Structure 1
């Protein structure tokens, strides 16, 4: 059994990894093990987890995880939306579609970490984009909410293209029509209801990353 360590941004992604991705990859003889970003250490000797305000804690955590020489790969599941300004490649993103832009940032991220066992993944534009894959299958959403959100989905080729503006990012759109939405609780549940195969079919950047993980089994 090969181990893959994955640095995740928050408890939503951690739950998604444990309940959706890990069982799938287990069938490929891969043990996917999530680790939350440690944002800072406190005076009591503990540490705070989740959320990214600066790049340095991400890099420090990845260095620690890469120190585990028994891990086949170290990867990430971080939101592209809301990355801190000092994140590698963010300031030099090229013009073009969101796929070219995120791939540029991932490449610069990989070069900055500089380790052959590191495989970066940034979710376009954030975890909630996955839920736009099949909104009617998400039991949380009312018919009225689905009708509003579906308009955003229908305007693009892929849920991953739903943008990163402050008021129109995927999670912001959901909260605007469903204020009771709780990311950690409802997000992974909705993703499970949609199903991994549907998510992969609709979200090519997500699918490419998962395919690269599956290939580690060979």
Structure 2
């Protein structure tokens, strides 16, 4: 059995790991266990969860996961867009395409954490890239929105992969979806779309995401 601990950015990523990855991988004897990043720890009561506020918090949460000696892999599912200040290599990224930049950051991340069973993964450019992999599902979730659907279709055709839609605050994929469908809610609509999508299609459309899963399969 391969036990994979995943430090995730928020509720949507936690849901994705539990409801999309596990049903597809449990039959391969691979079991994902997500943990939402802690943004604030309190002495009494519940900790605050979700969102990346500092690199130090990422490191601390990862160290807690490494305490589980039964884990085969400790990995992450954090958005490349909006990485915090002082993230390893953040100010040294090569002026290449997004795939070279994210590879560079993941290598720096691995070097900083310095654990053999650590597999860094940064989602290009954010979680919504996975939602855009099968835009036909938007028709089911947002019926009678033909004009908006055509705009979404045009957006999708501009890029080889939804992963390439960039990290600019005005043009990030989540902002673009929200501009076309103002009623779009990440947790509600994102889950509905992904639940009816095929993981193999997501992997086909998102090579960096697919590479992450292949590494886990081959570990």
In 1: Cα distance, 2:119 partner to 2:44 partner:
33
Q: What is the Cα deviation at residue 151 of structure 1?
A: 1.6
Give the CA RMSD over aligned residues.
Answer: 1.2
Q: Is the contact between residue 8 and residue 78 of structure 1 (CA under 8 Å) also seen in structure 2?
A: yes
1:205 aligns with 2:177: no
Judge which range, 196-205 or 42-51, deviates more. Answer: 42-51
1:191 to 190, 194, 197: 194
In 2: Cα distance, 1:2 partner to 1:197 partner:
21
Judge which range, 126-135 or 91-100, deviates more. Answer: 126-135
Structure 2 portions without partners, runs of 5+: none
Instruction: Provide the TM-score with structure 1 as the length reference.
Output: 0.95
1:107 aligns with 2:107: yes
Structure 1 portions without partners, runs of 5+: none
**CA distances 1:62-96 after superposition (whole Å, capped 9, x unpaired):** 01101111100001110001111221111110011
SS in structure 2 at match of 1:188: helix
In 1: Cα distance, 2:147 partner to 2:171 partner:
18
Q: Is the contact between residue 132 and residue 150 of structure 1 (CA under 8 Å) also seen in structure 2?
A: no
* Residues 1-218 of structure 1: pairs in structure 2 closer than 5 A: 1-138=1-138, 139-141=140-142, 142-216=145-219
Q: Could you list the runs of 4 or more consecutive aligned residues of structure 1 that deviate by over 6 angstroms after TM superposition?
A: none
Q: What is the Cα deviation at residue 43 of structure 1?
A: 4.4
Q: What is the Cα deviation at residue 24 of structure 1?
A: 1.0
Q: Is the contact between residue 5 and residue 75 of structure 1 (CA under 8 Å) also seen in structure 2?
A: yes
Instruction: Provide the TM-score with structure 2 as the length reference.
Output: 0.95
Q: What is the Cα deviation at residue 45 of structure 1?
A: 4.6
**CA distances 1:16-65 after superposition (whole Å, capped 9, x unpaired):** 11110011110110111000001111243531100001111111000110
In 2: Cα distance, 1:137 partner to 1:46 partner:
36
Q: How many aligned positions are there?
A: 216
In 2: Cα distance, 1:80 partner to 1:192 partner:
23
